[in-house]
Amino acid sequence: MSRLTVGPGITLFKALAGDAVLQAALAVIEASPPRKMLTPGGKAMSVAMTNCGPLGWVTDRDGYRYVSDDPSTGRPWPAMPAPMAELAAAAAEASSFPGFVPEACLVNLYDTESRMGAHQDRDERDRAAPIVSVSFGLSARFRIGGTSRGGPTLSFVLDHGDVLVFGGPARLAYHGVDRVLPGRHATLGAQRINLTFRRVT
Ligand code: SIN
Ligand code: FE2
């Protein structure tokens, strides 16, 4: 494990997340399978999504929002497994954000064609808490900039087990995934999983 300061409010922990967190994420995926949600404009996203925790992020023709039930089952999202919440809290604490208790974990499943365009995470009322992002499987080229669209950006590769925390001055930083790097991961094959832990209310 190594800890790198990428920029103000942005900390990267290489290879911090281990197998207990990955197995927990796979159990969530089994309980509530990821699906390609529709953007408000009606286009299917290239990333399949699900959630765990008291709240989950969804998008459809009615817009982006957090809901307590999985729209595809009508039941609450799976509970957030303790190893996931504990890792997110530890990474936040080590990045000067103590007391992080996530309310939502968005689980993103990528294949080698998936991308995520530059966006801000701004559907959360709580902007004091950071975003904690955990990556597994295939590596991906991640890009993060400032709080206005079109400014300078930094890009780096997120590998299996990496944990990225962005908060404080970077809480509303534009970020996205340029591409997933081709290959096969020993456990996940040609897939990438990303978990983002958020405080919402
Ligand atoms: C996100 O911004 O929701 C996902 C970021 C990532 O997949 O690394
Ligand atoms: Fe995001």
Return the axis-axis angle of helices 82-93 and 19-31, rounded to nearest 10°: 130
Q: What is the pLDDT of residue 106?
A: 98
In this prediction, residue 36 carries a pLDDT of 98
- Residue 161 phi, psi dihedral angles, 5° rounding: 90, -5
**Which range of residues forms the domain containing residue 180?**
2-198
The one-letter code for the residue type at 137 is G
Predicted pLDDT of residue 1: 87
Residue 75 CA to ligand 1 centre (angstroms): 25
Find the residues whose C-beta lies inside 6 A of ligand 1: 106, 108, 116, 133, 135, 142, 158, 175, 177, 194, 196
- The Cα 84–Cα 87 span in angstroms is 5
Reference 65, options 48, 51, 84, 46; nearest CA is: 51
In this structure, the residue with its CA closest to atom 6 of ligand 1 is 194
Residue 46: predicted pLDDT: 96
pLDDT of residue 10: 98
186 Cβ contact list (under 8 Å, min separation 6)? none
Tens-digit pLDDT profile for the chain (201 aa)? 899 999 999 999 999 999 999 999 999 999 999 999 999 999 999 999 999 999 999 999 999 999 999 999 999 999 999 999 999 999 999 999 999 999 999 999 999 999 999 999 999 999 999 999 999 999 999 999 999 999 999 999 999 999 999 999 999 999 999 999 999 999 999 999 999 999 999
φ, ψ for residue 54, nearest 5 deg: -60, -25
Looking at residue 153, its pLDDT comes to 97
What gap in Å lies between CA 86 and CA 122, rounded to an integer? 24
What is the spatial distance between Cα 13 and Cα 122, in angstroms, rounded to a whole number? 24
Q: What is the CATH number of the domain that holds 106?
A: 2.60.120.590
How many separate domains does the chain show?
1
| pTM tops 0.85 | yes
Which pLDDT score is estimated for 85? 98
Residue 1, both tokens: 């494990």
- From 159, 194, 198, give the residue whose CB has the most ligand 1 atoms within 8 Å, as the site to mutate: 194
